[in-house]
Each structure stands twice: as structure tokens, then as C-alpha cells.
């Protein structure tokens, strides 16, 4: 979040971007290896968990979330909130009405 008025002027160090890229590559390998392993019911939560960490890295570093204004973060979090409502309420309806399927 923005602490100084000039935060958008100062570019992040190059090493930060390269480290983020390295981390994203590492997590891609982890998700592929995890995919070949049978975790039963945990397979999907694990895959989505790794994807969420990768997405968070992209949002915070590549998309400059670390220096974004609080108002921007309201929008970022709102997108996740409404997506959760869409998926969550829809799924709860399907999962609780087995007789209608």
C-alpha cells in the first residue's frame, strides 16, 4: 500500500522481478509434480493453492500491488469477493440439492 506519495516513481529493483520469475517457475514445477501424484480429494485444493500463490506473486510484484493505493486494493479484493460469491453460492446450491440433479 502507498506510504509515500512518490511510491509509483521509484521502480522496483531488477533482482526482485528476476526472483519473482524464478519463484513462478519453481511453483510451476511443483504443481506439475503434484499433478502426477494422487492426493485423492486434496489434489484440487493443492493445485488451486499453488495457483493462488502464483497469482498473488504476479499481483503483488509484477502488477505493483505492493505500492498500490488502498483504493486499488479495495477493487482487487472486491473482485475476489464477488468471484467467491458466484462460485460459492452456485456450488452450495448444487451440492445441497442432490435430488434435483
**Interacting residues toward another protein by CB under 8 A:** 2, 5-6, 8-12, 14, 17-18, 20-21, 24-25, 28, 31-32, 34-39, 43, 47-48, 50-51, 54-55, 58-59, 61-64, 68-69, 71-72, 75-76, 78-80, 82-83, 86-87, 90-91, 94-95, 101
CA angle 27, 33, 39 (to 5 degrees): 110
- Least Å distance, CB 8 to another protein, is 5
* Contact status, residue 91 vs residue 19, Cβ threshold 8 Å: no
Closest distance to another protein from the beta carbon of 7 (Å) = 9
Say what the alpha-carbon torsion angle 74, 23, 49, 90 is, to the nearest 10 degrees.
50
Is the sign of the CA dihedral 14, 18, 20, 21 positive or negative? positive
Q: How far is the CB of 99 from another protein (least distance, A)?
A: 14
Integer Cα distance of 72 and 57 in angstroms: 16
* Nearer of residues 6 and 99 to another protein, judged by Cβ: 6
Amino acid at each position: 500500500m502507498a506510504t509515500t506519495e512518490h511510491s509509483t516513481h521509484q521502480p522496483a529493483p531488477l533482482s526482485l522481478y528476476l526472483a519473482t520469475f524464478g519463484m513462478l517457475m519453481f511453483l510451476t514445477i511443483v504443481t506439475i509434480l503434484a499433478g502426477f501424484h494422487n492426493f485423492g480429494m486434496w489434489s484440487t485444493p493443492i493445485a488451486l493453492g499453488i495457483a493462488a500463490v502464483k497469482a498473488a506473486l504476479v499481483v503483488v510484484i509484477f502488477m505493483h500491488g505492493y505500492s498500490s493505493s488502498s483504493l486499488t486494493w479495495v477493487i482487487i479484493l472486491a473482485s475476489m469477493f464477488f468471484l467467491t460469491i458466484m462460485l460459492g453460492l452456485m456450488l452450495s446450491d448444487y451440492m445441497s440439492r442432490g435430488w434435483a440433479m
